[in-house]
Structure 1
Amino acid sequence: MSELFLVARIAGQAVAVASRSVESVVDLGEVTPAPLAARHVLGLATLRSRIVTVIDTAGTLTGEASAAPPRRAIVSAIEGHHYAFVVDALDDVAELAAQPLDPGIALSGHWADAASALVEPAGEAALVIDLAALVPGNLHSRCN
């Protein structure tokens, strides 16, 4: 069964996020650091008169903080809070059929926590990721 996905790149990897999890995609402005925040929280930003927590998505997934300044992000509401998940690039929106991950696929870092399936936009494999798994402190996350 096909589903609508937003295809993006994080840490050079093609990823897909179910459109039902995406509130919007944005160009980030100034990000204000948040003292004592979890290590992969870049800070807070204001988007459309709303404050969002900005997540270093690549850093969360790979374990290494991103060096590049945050520019583009996927905004999602999770448990009543808004988060901006920084991405390298936004590629496409496409209706795709998700396939289960092969048990033989070894994912490093926190990719295994976030990835749930594979899709193939334009013939390239992309990991389907759950944005909620990337929120520090989330029960599904081991990112703290």
Structure 2
Amino acid sequence: MSDLLLLTRIAGRPAAFRAGDIGSIVELTEITPVPRAPDFIAGLAALRSRALTVIDSRKALGLLGPSETTDMRAPVVEVAGHSYALLVDRVDDVVPAAGEPAPTPATLGACWAQVAHGMIETASGPAVLVDVAALVAGPGETAA
């Protein structure tokens, strides 16, 4: 695999997204909460006259505890014709993949296994290769 990857951190763990799945990186300045939305939906944000649903990646994995988000930059993805911004701890770099994805180890945990294409090696070390549609679907859900 010679694809480019966007390296991020989610819940302190290195996580990679295929660069082709990322439309842009935006800086979120204001997130408007949505009443009665599932917990993993942080709210809505505006991007050039369109609404983005903001997904809290940590909560979408079903992880408990406070968010460690210190970077207000968010990858923007499109799933089934809808745009989403993904809250991550931080956005690190764009790097080439150093090989093909390997199976996800059992020690990673069920929350990560449900959104992982596998583990991918990069020059920065191994990272979980994230399935964007599965992450956007939220905890315990299946991707459309």
Same fold (TM over 0.5): yes
State how far apart, in whole Å, the 2-side matches of 1:135 and 1:83 are. 8
Q: Deviations over 1:65-105 (max 9, x none)?
A: 54456712110010000000111111111111233215x43
Identity of aligned residues (%): 39
**Unmatched 5+ stretches in structure 1:** none
Total equivalences in the alignment:
140
What amino acid sits opposite 1:98 in the alignment? E
Q: Which residue of 1 aligns with 2:143?
A: 140
State how far apart, in whole Å, the 2-side matches of 1:115 and 1:108 are. 11
CA distance 1:52–1:76, change in 2 (3 Å): same
CA distance 1:4–1:67, change in 2 (3 Å): closer
Q: Deviations over 1:20-73 (max 9, x none)?
A: 110011111110000111110000000122100000101222422544567121
Q: How far is 1:120 from its partner?
A: 2.1
State how far apart, in whole Å, the 2-side matches of 1:135 and 1:55 are. 7
TM value normalised by structure 2: 0.86
TM value normalised by structure 1: 0.86
SS state at 2:39 partner: coil
What amino acid sits opposite 1:125 in the alignment? P
Q: Which residue of 1 aligns with 2:19?
A: 19
Q: Which residue of 2 aligns with 1:110?
A: 111
State how far apart, in whole Å, the 2-side matches of 1:86 and 1:99 are. 24
